[in-house]
Amino acid sequence: MNPAYSVLFFTCLSGAGYGMLAVLGAGVLFDALPADFVFGVVSMGTCLGLITSGLLCSTLHLHHPERAWRAFSQWRSSWLSREGVAAVATFIPAAVLALGWIFPAAVSATFWKLGALASVLGAFATVLCTAMIYASLKPVGQWRITLASIPLVPFTYFGFALAGGMVWAQLLLSAFEKPHALHMPPLTCAALALAWAVKLLYWRQIDAQTNVHDLLDATGLKENWQNIRAFDSPHTEQNYLQKEMGYRVARKHRDFLRRAAWRGGGVLPIVLLLAGAWAGGLAASVCALLAAALFMLGTLIERWLFFAEAVHTSSLYYDDKK
């Protein structure tokens, strides 16, 4: 599948944003975060900034963004519509969460906690919907991959959202030199390890996938024929289908990119965070910043591969073995 930049940035940015919202919400819920004005403004600002910029990127993918509001209507059947609804609805508890932080007088403690809880749930629901847009597409075998009949795509999206949220929260806590920052690194490292572990599992499973379709399945000719090849193209130039579904560049650099992604976006940030926690002070902030940047870069490569490695059944008809 064609890894469109709009969709890459959308899933990476708003994924990390919703992860961060969940982390902040959970932090407030368990009184684990400072109820501090500046911290609240900056952390909620970062979180909502990530979410909003991601959502704006996603509208760049549309040919008719002026009609985007219509996409809230079909939540009964469409995961994309559900995602839109969940994404917008989550802004309400997120606003309550932000308000409680910034103007503690405006919201009662209970209401603030309710907002925090609803933020966690809303973030979870939105990421689930994003993942299901892909995981529900039958023509793309890789996205329906399972391990012991558990679909892996939703869990990779959860994993990366959570790890992204933790990495960003870690960055802000250490930047504000909050004592809470000291307890975070082991948890953040665990989230990072978990995300990349699920991804490595996903890669292992799609490489070993056996129930893939071939051109004989696609043409319904398997019963009587063993070999088939296209001897002519149905049209002279590439069409929409080939540009959109027939993306093949990933094959060549796959192994290198995978290694770069999990080592650069997983192992290195873990090492940096642990080193920062050990050194403390300014070094901790610098390390947290580097870790966040590297993780986002790794996620971008991971997401690029997620699309580029996925093969759509419609590309079978073109029998393009290049």
Partner 1 sequence: MTSLPKRSKNAKKLGLVIDLDTCVGCHACVVSCKEWNTGGYPAPLSDAQPYGREPSGAFLNRVHSYETANETSQRTVYFPKSCLHCENAQCVTVCPTGASYKRAEDGIVLVDEDLCIGCGLCAWACPYGAREMDPVVGVMKKCTLCIDRIYNENIPPAERRPACVNACPAGARHFGDLGDPESSASKLAAQRPAQEPLGDLDYRPTNKYLAPRKPKSVTSAKPLEPVNRDGGGGFIGWVDAMLSKLNPPA
* Positions that interact with partner 1 (CB under 8 A): 1, 61-65, 67-68, 70-74, 76-81, 84, 133, 136-140, 213, 215, 217-241, 244-245, 312-315, 317-319
Query: Which residue's CB is nearer to partner 1, number 64 or number 252?
Result: 64
Residue 17 CA: distances (Å) to CA of 95, 162, 204, 209: 14, 9, 28, 32
Query: Which residue's CB is nearer to partner 1, number 179 or number 220?
Result: 220
Whether the CB-CB separation of 148 and 178 falls below 8 Å is answered with no
CB of 278 to partner 1, least distance (A): 47
Query: Which residue's CB is nearer to partner 1, number 95 or number 136?
Result: 136
Query: Which residue's CB is nearer to partner 1, number 244 or number 257?
Result: 244
Helix (H, G, I), strand (E, B) or coil at 140: strand
CB of 244 to partner 1, least distance (A): 7
Whether the CB-CB separation of 314 and 213 falls below 8 Å is answered with no
Query: Which residue's CB is nearer to partner 1, number 245 or number 250?
Result: 245
Rounded Cα–Cα distance for residues 182 and 273 (Å): 11
CB of 243 to partner 1, least distance (A): 9
- What is the 8-class DSSP label of residue 33? S
Helix (H, G, I), strand (E, B) or coil at 234: coil
Residue 244 CA: distances (Å) to CA of 198, 240, 249, 310: 27, 6, 13, 11
Nearest Cα to 305, choosing from 165, 163, 142, 161? 142
Helix (H, G, I), strand (E, B) or coil at 69: helix
Rounded Cα–Cα distance for residues 133 and 54 (Å): 16
Rounded Cα–Cα distance for residues 203 and 153 (Å): 11
Q: What is Dmax (Cα atoms) for the chain?
A: 76
CB of 35 to partner 1, least distance (A): 39
Amino acid at 101: W
CB of 209 to partner 1, least distance (A): 14
Q: Could you tell me the sign of the dihedral formed by the alpha carbons of 200, 203, 207, 213, in that order? A: positive
Query: Which residue's CB is nearer to partner 1, number 31 or number 232?
Result: 232
Query: Which residue's CB is nearer to partner 1, number 74 or number 205?
Result: 74
CB of 21 to partner 1, least distance (A): 23
CB of 54 to partner 1, least distance (A): 16
